[in-house]
Structure 1
Amino acid sequence: MRSDHSSPSAPETAAASRGGDDAARDALAPRRRSPGLVLASTSLGTLLVILLTSGLNIASPAIRSTFDAGDTAIGWVLSGYTLAFAMLSLTGGALTDRFGARRVFLVGLGVFSVFSLIAAAASTVTLVVVGTLGEGVGAALVLPSALALIQFVYQDVPGRVAWAIGIWAGANALGAALGPVLCGALVSVSSWRAMFVVVAVLAVVFALVGRPVLPLLRGGRARLDLPGLLVMVVLLGVVAFLAHDWRELSTGALAIGLAIAVFAVWLFGRVEKRSPAPMLPLSQLRDVPFSANAVVTVVGTAAFFGTLYIISMGFQDELGMTPFMAGLALLPLAGGNIVSALLAGRIIGRLGVRGAMIAGSVLVASVLVVIPLLFDHYGALVVPLALLGAGWGLLVPTTSTAGLARAQRGKEGVASGVTAGGRELGAALAAAILLPLGIRAGIWSAAAVGVVSLIVVVLGVRVHDRSGSTGRTGLGTRQD
């Protein structure tokens, strides 16, 4: 396979083969390229795609006003992005393992940019939905490939993987923080169209900056498991659709949808069992700690993002804030999120991955019980919002680290896709199920979801590295 390097004489190192056709990955990483530059580039791409997850919520009232759109159409504008993101993140992970993380990362930014421009130029709300769905496809390529790149460049540096993932999680947090502020400012000063133009331009800039920095990772030699990919996309799509539109569906239609979902689960098991190169080996799914971590990713994200969506809308609808002011009002949450994410490496070093995950889950669930009681007075919300952000800032890096720690060799991209897709599925389910419940009922329901997440962490999550050590160490944490 031809290298993308401009100079054939550039010093290169060949990574050791991971063994097995579906696990083989031939990695070329020029020594002159700093792991820090790779971390910065992948973090910028991650920041951008996460930014839109929270920013669309701020822009949706303006889009509704432009097209005089109904609640269903606006619901698809809001959740279409996260639905596509969730449905295809596992596919993005499989493509990362097959074609290489660098290539998939750059293609993802390109797709994200093109569909952002489609949304910006939309003449109907339907085209806005098409644009956000396409952006979700691009984001589904960016996130798992970014995490795979980080894991590769830091895998041989003792104690640095968890630190690097903490920095990357800080980019997640910063993106979620900047989304309401930046998008709210653009909507207030210009229009919602300007928001899409700005993210399109940034995607192109980040791709151009990243191309000469990122190491070329050749994917495995095994063929893509296309049947497995197709069945998984159908399964996630049906689940997301049922969660989004279950109120409008008749009992019969709902029963048919559930039956299709159950059949898709059964079919996926059959397809993966017979595939010579399964996308997600059943042995990986039978690893209870891996699957428990995936559940925590979905459920914990639903608790956090459900609250974020509800608060963002409540600041505008109940407290009378402008989109820009609503974005600024979320800064305490963003501040706690960023600080916690940046300190996650040290916290994991002291508490272990599982201990830090428990601490984050406790913070999220306990703060959500209090927020509805204080919602009428913004000043009383500042500290709870900061603590909520801190809890989420611990959950992102710990679930990412735990997923990679339990990944089978050669399936790091898929493991990253499970984590990334789980987050977006949780956000999509939160928008569909929790947001319509209103401020108090919705946030208290999110608190109950957070308690479920905590229970799964305590009962099911265990972390060890591939050498078999357990407990406090986890993947990449310091062992000395």
Structure 2
Amino acid sequence: MTVDRARPTGERRGWAPLLAVCAGYFMVILDVTVINVAVPVIGRELSASLTGVQWVTDGYTLVLAGFLLTGGALGDRLGNRRVFCVGVAVFTVSSAACALAPDAPFLIAGRLVEGLGAALIVPGSLALLQQAYPEPAARSRAFGLWGSMAGIAASAGPLLGGALVSTVGWRWVFLINLPVGAACLALTLRHVAPSPRRADRALDWPAQCAVVAAVALLTTSLNEAGRRGWTDPAVLAGLGLAVLAVALFLVREKLARSPALPLPLLRTPAMSGGALIGLLFNFAFYGMVFTASLEFQQERGYSAFETGLALFPAVAMTMFASVLSGRLARRTGDRPLVISGMLLAALGLAGWAAAGPDPGYALLVVPMMAAGFGTSFALTGSTTTVMGAVPAEYAGTASALFNTTRQIGSATGVALGGSLLLSATTPSTGLRLSMAIGAAAYLTAAALAWRCVPRR
């Protein structure tokens, strides 16, 4: 059998496209968490105010979440590989600018541009994997490893950030992106085939602006809710405006000739249900990571580096679970994997909630491992469900929607967890309540998977 060397099959391509795409995605997720342990040092060295320090962290997340759908639409129109490579280049150059920042405003501007580059990388990552690995078995394995990058990068961030800040300085938190970005760009251009361009797909700018406004307002309101409280007028106004922006988006999509996200796609149970499952398990998992981090540092006196080590059991399971689910999917289908993963994760957080007001760390290892394993075990199947529910010309848009809902889930979980810790009678009570709510979210995701994830 003759294989075209210019466009090899998924089997002949091997690991190179997967490595290229996952390197870009790893940078994006790592920059969400690696900055956390560096922020106090950055604030001191750059004489930044508390507001400035907050924007160093939140500005990146806001731009990333707000422009994901725009990045997906651009990928579908201009070619996913082209937009992915532009995103990697923008991200890498802005990382260098952040590392050289002379003051806080310059660093904040660099972080905003980093978020824009990330928003161009993430939607194309899934679309490129679907293009590079058309065989169902190979695609499942690729999606599994892609999903493991999120958990590994998110939880490795505090460890890596703490090591860099304590040895070579905070600027290396950004400088490490330079060799990774260069390698990612070289591998993508060499080993990932060009994506088709669909010039007939007009960009619906009013709808894109409505999405940016909705996600930015929602994310900002949820972040502020953790500090101001859920009944603060500014928080309520932000949530109300976010709902209004969503309503305007839906009206626009109903009337537009070339909608950014055709509403019939959202009426597909696999598409809407898979996206909602992603929101729920990100809500539970990142809420757990956030509240556990505060518990370990503020109540148990762990350093940032020790906290990263304490959370490592949850991280260690993500790679194993994603690879395993990718291999099992071709035998069992996605539905059993998503359901069993969500049930296992729910059992883990319920166990933490029931462990008592001051459990020893040894009692928390198994619940954390269950949450990490269950989340990654379900991620592959839910990703395949969403990406398989749309025609190829909307692959970038589907990827963007899935990752947007996951970002919203993460922001909601962190905001709710922080609010519960602040408002409860004791931090332990707030932590246990947060874990119980996370377990309920996992159970809801399992029920949705039963209804929405297709049978084998």
What residue identity is the alignment partner of 1:312? S
User: Residue 419 of structure 1 corresponds to which residue in structure 2?
Assistant: 402
The 2-side partners of 1:398 and 1:61 are apart by 39
Q: Which amino acid aligns with 1:407?
A: V
Match for residue 55 of structure 2 among 76, 81, 92: 76
Give the superposition deviation at 1:323: 2.6
Matched, 1:153 2:142: no
SS in 1 for 2:34: helix
Say if 2:164 is the partner of 1:191.
no
Say whether residues 1:360 and 2:341 are aligned partners.
yes
Which is worse superposed, 212-221 or 428-437? 428-437
In 1, Cα distance between equivalents of 2:90 and 2:275: 26
In the other structure, the counterpart of 2:437 is 448
Deviation of 1:253 after TM superposition, in Å, equals 4.2
**Aligned match of 1:114:** 93
Contact 1:354 1:457 survives alignment (8 Å)? no
- Give the corresponding residue for 2:73: 94
Percent identity at matched positions? Answer: 32
Secondary structure (helix, strand or coil) at the match of 2:56 reads: helix
Higher deviation after alignment, 230-239 or 308-317: 308-317
Name the Cα RMSD after superposition: 2.8
Paired amino acid for 1:62: V
CA 1:224–1:114: 2 relative to 1, 3 Å? same
AA aligned to 1:84 is V
Q: Tell whether the 8 Å contact from 1:288 to 1:460 is kept in structure 2 after alignment.
A: no
| Alpha-carbon separation, structure 2, partners of 1:59 and 1:362 | 36
- Native 8 Å contact 1:436 1:442 kept in 2: no
> Per-residue deviation at 1:173?
3.1
2:301 aligned partner: 320
Contact 1:173–1:341 (CA under 8 A) maintained in structure 2 = no
Q: Counterpart in 2 of 1:22?
A: none
Residue in structure 2 matching 1:228, options 207, 211, 214? 207
Q: Distance in 2 between matches of 1:238 and 1:84?
A: 11
Aligned partners of 2:17 and 2:187 also within 8 Å: no
- SS state of the match for residue 411, structure 1? helix
- Which residue identity does 1:444 align to in structure 2? L
TM-aligned CA deviation for residue 214 of structure 1: 1.3
- State whether residues 338 and 449 of structure 2, in contact with CA within 8 Å, keep that contact through their aligned partners in structure 1: no
SS of 2:333's equivalent?
Answer: helix
2:344 maps to amino acid = L
What secondary structure, in the 3-state scheme, does the structure 1 residue paired with 2:35 have? Answer: helix
The whole-number CA distance in structure 1 between the counterparts of 2:115 and 2:256 is: 28
CA–CA distance in 2 between the matches of 1:387 and 1:46? 24
Whichever structure has more helix as a proportion of its residues is: 2
- Structure 2 distance, partners of 1:420, 1:36, is 23
Aligned to 2:288: 307
1:59 matched residue in structure 2: 38
Matched, 1:404 2:387: yes
Q: What is residue 424 of structure 2 aligned with on the other side?
A: none
User: 2:313 touches 2:365 (CA, 8 Å); kept in 1?
Assistant: yes
- Residue 31 (structure 1) shift: 6.2
Partner of 1:288: 269
Gaps of 5+ in 1: 1-9, 14-28, 465-469, 474-480
Note closer, same or farther for the CA distance 1:258–1:40 as it changes in structure 2 (3 Å cut). Answer: closer
Q: Name 1:130's counterpart in structure 2.
A: 109
Query: TM-score, normalized by length of structure 1?
Result: 0.83
Residue by residue over 1:133-152, the C-alpha shift from the partner in whole angstroms, topping out at 9 and shown as x without a partner, is 32222122112111101101
Residue among 344, 357, 368 paired with 1:385: 368
- Contact 1:11-1:30 within 8 A present in 2 as well: yes
> For residues 447 and 117 of structure 1, do their structure 2 counterparts lie closer, same or farther at Cα, with a shift above 3 Å needed?
farther
Measure the CA separation in 2 of the matches of 1:451 and 1:333: 19
Q: Which residue of 1 aligns with 2:186?
A: 208
My pick for the range that moved more, 452-461 or 82-91, is: 452-461
Q: Indicate how the Cα distance of structure 1 residues 177 and 115 shifts in structure 2: closer, same or farther if over 3 A, else same.
A: same
Superposed CA offset, 1:70-125 (max 9, x none): 65544433333222222111111111111111111111111212222233233444
What's the CA shift for 1:453? Answer: 4.2
Q: What letter is aligned with 1:278?
A: P
Distance 1:299 1:158, change over 3 A: closer
- Following the alignment from structure 1 to structure 2, what is the Cα–Cα distance between the partners of residues 192 and 349? 44
* Corresponding residue SS for 2:137: coil
Residues 347 and 367 in structure 2, CA contact (< 8 A), matched pair in contact too: no
Q: Structure 2-normalised TM-score?
A: 0.87
Distance 1:174 1:259 in 2: 35
Structure 1 residue 12 displacement after superposition: 7.4
Instruction: Give 5+ residue unaligned stretches, structure 2.
Output: 422-426
Asked whether the equivalents of residues 292 and 457 of structure 1 are also in contact (C-alpha less than 8 Å), the reply is no
1:462 Cα offset (Å):
4.6
Q: Distance in 2 between matches of 1:267 and 1:308?
A: 34
Q: In the alignment, what sits opposite 1:394?
A: 377
State whether structure 2 residue 409 is matched by structure 1 residue 431. Answer: no
Give, in angstroms, the shift of residue 280 of structure 1: 0.3
Counterpart code for 1:171: M
SS in 1 for 2:166: helix
Counterpart selection for 1:180 from 158, 161, 168: 158
User: 364-373 or 408-417: which moved more?
Assistant: 364-373
Alignment deviations for residues 431-470 of structure 1 (CA, whole Å, 9 cap, x no partner) = 3332343354145324314413432441466557xxxxx4
- 2:323 counterpart of 1:345: no
- Equivalent residues in 2 for 1:20-59 (5 A)? 29=7, 34-59=13-38
Following superposition, the deviation at residue 261 of structure 1 comes to: 2.3
- Is the 8 Å Cα contact of residues 307 and 446 (structure 1) preserved in structure 2? yes
